[in-house]
Each structure stands twice: as C-alpha cells, then as structure tokens.
Amino acid sequence: MNGNIWVLASADSVAIATTLILAALGALFTERAGVLNLGIEGILLTSAISSFLAADSSGSIWLGLIVGSLVGALLAGIHAVLSVVLRANQIVAGLALVIFGTGLANFLGKPAEGKTVTTIIKPLSFGPLSDIPLIGPIVFRQDPITYASIVIAIVSSLYLFRSRPGLELRATGDDPATVDAQGLSVASIRIRYTLFGGLLVGLGGSWLMLAQSAAWHQAATTNGVGWIALALVVFAGWRPMRLIFGAILFGFTLQLPFTLQAEQITFIPSALMQMLPYLATLIALIALSRPSTRNKLGAPKSLGIPFVRDER
C-alpha cells in the first residue's frame, strides 16, 4: 500500500469538505431561521458558472468569488420571497429552485462547456510547515478559502450560541410566535438569514468551480454536493462545530472511489462507493420525516412552516 496516496487522499478530503462546509453552513443558517431551502444544489450550480464567467472574463479570481456569492444570495432571495413573503410551500419552492438553477446554469454555461479557468485558487505554502510529513500536506497546504470556511464555521458557532442575534435566530426557527410577540420581525429575520445562507452557498459553489474543478461541466461540477450538504446539516444536529467534522468525513467518502482505484483495490465496486453520500442523504431525509427523531436530532421546531400571526 502506498502511504503517500492516503496522505494525499486525506488532504483532498479536507479540500472537498470546503464546499460542503460552506454550503451546509448556508443551509444551517437558513434552517435555524425556520426556512427549509432544498434549492441548495441549484444555487451551487448557478453560482459556480457565474463565478467561472466572472473570473474568466475579468481574470480575477476574487471577482469570481464575489460574483458567485452574490448570485447565490440572489437565488436564495427568490426562495425568501416565495416562502417568507408569499408563504408558499417551502418544499415545492425549494425543488422549483433546483430546477430553475440547473436550467439557468445550463443556459449560462453553454459557451463555457469544457472550458478551463486560466487562473485558479492555489494552495498556500507555509514553508517548512507544509513539508512536515503527514500533517504538512493535510493541514498546511490548503487554499485560503478552505481555511476561511473552517474559521467561518467556528465563528458561526459562537454567533449562534453566544450572541444576542444568535439567540434571536434560534428562537425564530423554534418558535416564531414568541419572537413576534417580542416585537421582532419574523419575516425580516427569516429573509436576512435566507439571503446570508445563499451567500455562503454561493461562495461554496464558486470555490468548487475556481479551486476544485477548474473546468465547467454542467453535469459533473457539483455532482450532488448540494443534496449532501442538506443531509450534513441534519447529521450535524444543526451545529456548526459538528458540521466541520461531518464535512471532512463526507469529503473522505466522496474521494474514496478515486483513491481506491489508484490503489487498485477493486473488491468494492466503485459505483457502490459513489452511492454512499446519496444513501446518507436518503437516511437524513427519512430521519427528518419522523417528528420524534426530528426532535431528538435538534431540528428547529418550525422548520419549513410559514409563520402567520393570526393563524389559530
């Protein structure tokens, strides 16, 4: 067995985890406010291609990241209008967003199909630190956004559990009527966090494009990462710190087929391995559908339920 391949695989897992952390954090903020946005996959795709086009035409990766993130917030805005302002069924609105986002990405990406970005986000190097065996490549040879995503997750955890607005956010997801009675606007809180969630998902999509794939392929760029992010939020019990570890674990599973192939380990069919994340998503959704498990996992109590003041 080639030890080096496994070190690279671990480093890769951390890298893949970046999109997962960002997209799942986006979903987490949205869901903590009580809004279920199933459209993550659509947002990821659209922001990926937007960031590609922006980076490609301007030659600036940073502009790509900014445009991609803003497009993410914009698409989430559609969901916010539908589900918070118009109080539409959030599952239907979310699924519509997946279809819309996929179509839009497909349309925008036509001229770019198969094209490669000229400048990609490069890993940082910390000199000798990066050369430490094992730890070096895993911990000290990632790109800035990967480090940023972990910092964002940690800050999110502090924000959620140790700050006044975080308290209000959690209360909105659990019991909007109480928040309303306190004179806070449930709609404004929900819209703000849905937009912010979309921004994070958009950043994740842009990173996936500009650091990971480099070439645009409509069908293969996101590869279902959006759905996995949704499952990850459930498994992490809506807690950012747990989400980091979950993301790395999922990241490892996602790259495992390639490593196993490289290692010529063939007794596990790679199709089976590739199926694992989707199986996880399925399990998460089943868990979500049972009220008692939902509660045990720590789901926001009014997740997916529109708030109407006069309803009784």
Partner 1 sequence: MTNASHEVAKGPHHASGAAPSALSAHSIVKRFPGVLANDSVDFDVLPGEVHTLLGENGAGKSTLAAMLCGLYQPDSGYITRNGERIALSSPRAGLHHGIAMVHQHFRLVERFTVAENVILGSRDLSYKLNRSELEDKVAAVADSYGLPIEPGATVGELSVGQRQRVEIVKALYQGAEILLLDEPTAVLVPAEVEKLFENVHAMTRAGKSIVFISHKLGEVVEISDRVTVLRNGRVTGHVSGRGAADTKELARLMVGRDIELTTQRASHATGHEVLQIRDLSLTVNGVSVLSDISFNVHAGEMVGIAGVAGNGQRELADTIAGLISPTSGSVAISGSLTTDRGPIHARELGLAYVPEDRLGMGLVPSMSILDNLLLTRDRHIVVDRTTVRPEAARLIEQFEIKANGPDHVARKLSGGNAQKVLLARELSGGRTATKLLVVCSPTRGLDVGAIETVRALLDDARSAGQAILLISEDLDEVMSLSDRIFVLYRGSVVYETPGESAQLSTVGAAMAGLQPEGKS
242 or 301, CB closer to partner 1? 301
- Asked if 312 is part of the footprint of partner 1 (rule: CB under 8 A), the reply reads yes
- Asked if 290 is part of the footprint of partner 1 (rule: CB under 8 A), the reply reads no
Residue 90 has which token pair? 């959030």
User: What SS3 class is residue 215?
Assistant: strand
How far apart CA 157 and CA 239 sit, in angstroms, is 7
- Contact residue for partner 1 among 1, 164, 271, 289 (CB under 8 A): 164
- CA dihedral over 280, 285, 286, 292, signed as positive or negative: positive
- CA dihedral over 30, 37, 280, 142, signed as positive or negative: negative
Give yes or no for a contact between 45 and 205, defined as CB atoms under 8 angstroms apart: yes
Span from 74-82, 156-164, 200-208, 220-228 in contact with partner 1 (CB under 8 A): 156-164
How far apart CA 258 and CA 130 sit, in angstroms, is 24
- Asked if 242 is part of the footprint of partner 1 (rule: CB under 8 A), the reply reads no
User: What SS3 class is residue 227?
Assistant: helix
Give yes or no for a contact between 207 and 73, defined as CB atoms under 8 angstroms apart: no
Q: What angle do CA 3, 8, 9 make, to 5 degrees?
A: 95
129 or 181, CB closer to partner 1? 181
- Asked if 266 is part of the footprint of partner 1 (rule: CB under 8 A), the reply reads no
91 or 167, CB closer to partner 1? 167
- Contact residue for partner 1 among 5, 150, 168, 223 (CB under 8 A): 168
Please give the DSSP secondary-structure letter assigned to residue 208. Answer: I
- Asked if 165 is part of the footprint of partner 1 (rule: CB under 8 A), the reply reads yes
- Asked if 305 is part of the footprint of partner 1 (rule: CB under 8 A), the reply reads no
Per-residue mark of binding to partner 1, 173-192 (x: CB under 8 A): -xx-xxxxxxxx--------
The distance of closest approach from Cβ of residue 229 to partner 1 in the complex, given in angstroms and rounded to an integer, is 24
The distance of closest approach from Cβ of residue 232 to partner 1 in the complex, given in angstroms and rounded to an integer, is 21
Which residues are at the interface with partner 1 (CB under 8 A)? 162-165, 167-168, 170-171, 174-175, 177-184, 301, 309, 311-312
